[in-house]
Amino acid sequence: MNSPSSTTTSNRSARGALTTLVTWVLVLIFFFPVFWMVLNGFKPESLASSVDPTFIFKPVTEGYQLAMDRGMAGYLQNSLTAAVIATIISVTLAIPAAYALSIRRVKNVENSLSFFISTRFMPLAAIVLPLFMIFKTIGLLDNIYMLAVVYGAMNLPVTVWMMRSFFLEVPFEIIEAARVDGAGMFREIVRIVLPLVLPGVAAAALISFIFAWNEYFLALLLTSSAARTTPPFLGSFVDGRGQFLAVLSAAATIAALPVIIAGWAAQKQLVRGLSMGAIK
């Protein structure tokens, strides 16, 4: 008969093994579509759309060639411009906003938090036509900087909310100490608060970047040719009269790479940043 303590230990290890197993199953389920996309990108068109799934085949790079031949580089460059500018806009504006909402609380501004997020309640379909008409009137349709500003504004509520929760984590004693030492507001933000919440800033920036990188609907309607971004370009591979899975998968793989690389590079900060607000 087992002693109580060894039972607990074996229970714990059994639970641990189960957790590991469930995690692996979940990881596989989430990863499989990505894996399938990468795999399909290397198949000839007829094999990619085949009814019977094929795992072993002679890889071809036709899909990649086709995607690049159709000028994918230009679309990627537009997406990068829009996403980077949008991220800079939203992060630069969110830092002071979050500061005013957490550390140096400004009276009567607290309510604006829910106002911020309420701008995200409205479905995009409802705001796209007014936006279209405004940009048409001021002659800024099909302009990548205009799109970047829209993305920056669109991401702002989320970045403000994220940053605020990170700022709340900063122990007030540190800030007090800085103030006692004579630090002004600007120095307090730049030298004291920001270094402490940098992982959070990185996480917010990455999320803002991903949102802007993936945005489809506004890009489709507000741009026509010069400023068109990658997502509608990917959509353009869908063919109502013919097979397109291989070339679409190849193009989608290329489009996913920058985000995967950015996420991988910022992984450490990201994990810390994303869990920052959660540890109480």
Partner 1 sequence: MLANKRMLALGTGAVAVALTVTACSSGAVQAGGGSTGGDGGTVTLKVATVNNGQMKDMEKLKTEYEAANPGVKVNFQVMEEGDLRAAVTADVASGAGQYDIVTIGAYETPQWGANGWLVDLTPALQSDASYDVNDLLPPVRDVNTYDGKLFAVPFYGESSILMYNKEVMDKAGITIPQNPTWQQVADAAKKVNTPDMAGICMRGKPGWGDLFAPLTTVVQTFGGNWYDSNWKATVDTPEWKEAVGFYKKLLDDSGEKDPVSYSFNECLTALKEGKAAMWADASVAASMLEAADSPVKGKMGYAHMPVDKTKESGWLWSWNLAIPTSTKQKDAAIKFVKWATSKDYIKLVGNKIGWSNVPPGSRTSTYSIPEYKDAAKAYAPITLDVMSSVNPKQPGVNPQPWVGIQYVSIPEFQDVGNQCAQLVADYLANRGTIDDALSKCQSIAQAAGDKHKK
Q: Which residues bind partner 1 (CB under 8 A)?
A: 46, 49-52, 70-71, 73-75, 77-78, 80-81, 84-85, 88, 129, 132-133, 136, 141-145, 195, 198, 202, 220-221, 224-228, 232, 235-244, 269
**Shortest gap between Cβ of 110 and partner 1 (angstroms)?**
29
Q: How many CB atoms lie within 10 A of CB 217?
A: 13
- Residue placing its CB nearer to partner 1 in the complex, 144 or 154: 144
- Residue placing its CB nearer to partner 1 in the complex, 116 or 244: 244
Whole-angstrom distance, CA of residue 131 vs CA of residue 153: 12
**Shortest gap between Cβ of 95 and partner 1 (angstroms)?**
12
**Shortest gap between Cβ of 176 and partner 1 (angstroms)?**
20
**Measured between alpha carbons, how far is residue 140 from residues 56, 129, 170, 222, 278 in Å?**
49, 14, 41, 9, 41
Whole-angstrom distance, CA of residue 185 vs CA of residue 195: 15
CB 165 within 8 A of CB 274: no
- Residue placing its CB nearer to partner 1 in the complex, 13 or 77: 77
CB 204 within 8 A of CB 94: yes
H or E stretch at 32: helix 4-41
Residue with tokens 């806009």: 89
**Shortest gap between Cβ of 74 and partner 1 (angstroms)?**
4
- Residue placing its CB nearer to partner 1 in the complex, 16 or 235: 235
Contacts of 132 (CB under 8 A, 6+ apart): 141, 221, 222
**Measured between alpha carbons, how far is residue 73 from residues 39, 68, 129, 179, 265 in Å?**
22, 7, 29, 50, 22
**Shortest gap between Cβ of 269 and partner 1 (angstroms)?**
7
- Residue placing its CB nearer to partner 1 in the complex, 18 or 190: 190
**Shortest gap between Cβ of 275 and partner 1 (angstroms)?**
17
- Residue placing its CB nearer to partner 1 in the complex, 113 or 131: 131
